[in-house]
């Protein structure tokens, strides 16, 4: 298997952390999507990361890739097979991805000339970020990890989203505003899988 990724993609980071945690046999290939010679469109018509190649088949969208890798690699499974538990994990992943979507939308808007930036978009996406963080913070009340206080893919998904928000919006004081998420991220950052995939501030 081969995974195409970019350094600061929170969606790709989820998969890289999962690969590390599962010790899955996956080759990693870093790509630069802005490079005109980037060949990822040969494997993914959407030209997005992460993209996984396995048995000559391309898999895209991080939730799909995560399920594939988790199922095809050794125990323990980090996405539960029990339907009710699995849905709770996927529910958290959905919020994590939406949080990242909002953060990315703001970042892309900021890259436009100031005269072309949309103030309404900023307000809408910032509201999504704040509401998502508040929601996740409440869900972590009196918990170490999200699902039955056991490390799972839900924690990976949210942890990577938090890492991206911290990268792009360092002015957010998690310890003061979202203490439960602060504790979760500090705990996750003790894991080698999170340490070696931390986003790089200069990109």
pLDDT value of residue 203:
47
At 35-60, the pLDDT tens digits run 888 889 899 999 999 999 999 999 99
Q: By C-alpha distance, which of 144, 157, 151 is closest to 67? A: 157
Dist. CA 193–CA 144, nearest whole Å: 18
pLDDT value of residue 127:
96
pLDDT value of residue 34:
83
Dist. CA 85–CA 22, nearest whole Å: 19
| pTM of the entire predicted model | 0.95
Question: Which residue segments constitute the domains of the chain, with CATH numbers given?
Answer: 2-72 (3.40.30.10), 83-195 (1.20.1050.10)
pLDDT value of residue 202:
55
Residue ranges, the chain, pLDDT below 50? 203
Q: By C-alpha distance, which of 82, 91, 168 is closest to 122? A: 168
Angstrom CA distances, 86 to 38, 82, 119, stand at: 35, 6, 38
At 145-162, the pLDDT tens digits run 999 999 999 999 999 999
């Amino acid at each position: 298997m081969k995974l195409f990724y970019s350094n600061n993609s929170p969606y790709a980071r989820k998969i890289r952390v999962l690969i590390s945690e599962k010790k899955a046999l996956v080759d990693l290939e870093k790509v630069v999507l802005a490079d005109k010679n980037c060949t990822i469109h040969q494997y993914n018509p959407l030209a997005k990361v992460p993209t996984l190649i396995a048995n000559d088949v391309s898999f895209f969208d991080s939730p799909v890739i995560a399920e594939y890798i988790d199922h095809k690699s050794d125990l323990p499974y980090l996405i539960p097979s029990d339907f009710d538990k699995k849905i709770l994990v996927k529910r958290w992943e959905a919020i994590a991805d939406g949080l990242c979507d909002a953060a990315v939308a703001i970042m892309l808007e900021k890259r436009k000339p100031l005269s072309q930036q949309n103030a309404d978009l900023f307000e809408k996406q910032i509201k999504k970020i704040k509401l998502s963080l508040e929601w996740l913070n409440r869900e972590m009340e009196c918990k170490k990890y999200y699902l039955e206080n056991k490390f799972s893919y839900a924690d990976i998904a949210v942890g990577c989203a938090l890492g991206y928000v911290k990268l792009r919006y360092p002015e957010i004081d998690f310890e003061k505003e979202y203490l439960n998420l602060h504790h979760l991220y500090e705990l996750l950052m003790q894991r080698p899988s999170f340490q070696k995939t931390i986003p790089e501030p200069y990109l």
